[in-house]
Amino acid sequence: MSEPIIVVENLWAGFQDRWILKNVNLTIPKGKITAIMGPSGCGKTTLLRCINRLHQLFPNAKIKGRILFKGRDIYHFKPSQLRREIVMVSQKPTPFPDMNIRENVLAGYTLNGIKLKEDEKEDIVERSLKMAYLWDEVKDRFSESPLTLSGGQIQRLCIARALALNPEALLLDEPTSALDKKATHHLEKLLTGLTPEITVLIITHDLHQTDRIANNLTEWSQITGG
Ligand X SMILES: Nc1ncnc2c1ncn2[C@@H]1O[C@H](COP(=O)(O)OP(=O)(O)O)[C@@H](O)[C@H]1O
How far CA 64 is from CA of 11, 17, 46, 61, 217, in Å, comes to 6, 14, 13, 11, 29
Segment contacting ligand X by CB under 6 A, of 35-43, 94-102, 148-156, 211-219: 35-43
Write each residue from 24 to 53 as x if it is in contact with Mg ion (CB under 5 A), else as -, in one continuous string. Answer: ---------------------x--------
Of 34 and 45, nearer to Mg ion (C-beta) is 45
One of 26, 31, 34, 46 touching ligand X (CB under 6 A): 46
Q: Binding of ligand X at residue 82 (CB under 6 A)? A: no
40 is an interface residue for ligand X by CB under 6 A: yes
Taking CB under 6 A as the rule, does residue 195 contact ligand X? no
59 lies in the site for ligand X, by CB under 6 A: no
| Cβ–Cβ under 8 Å, residues 51 and 8 | yes
**d(Cα 221, Cα 119) in Å, to the nearest integer?**
41
Percent helix, strand and coil across the chain, each to the nearest 5: 35, 25, 35
* Distance from C-alpha of 152 to C-alpha of 26, rounded to nearest angstrom: 30
Query: Which residue ranges make up the site for Mg ion (CB under 5 A)?
Result: 45
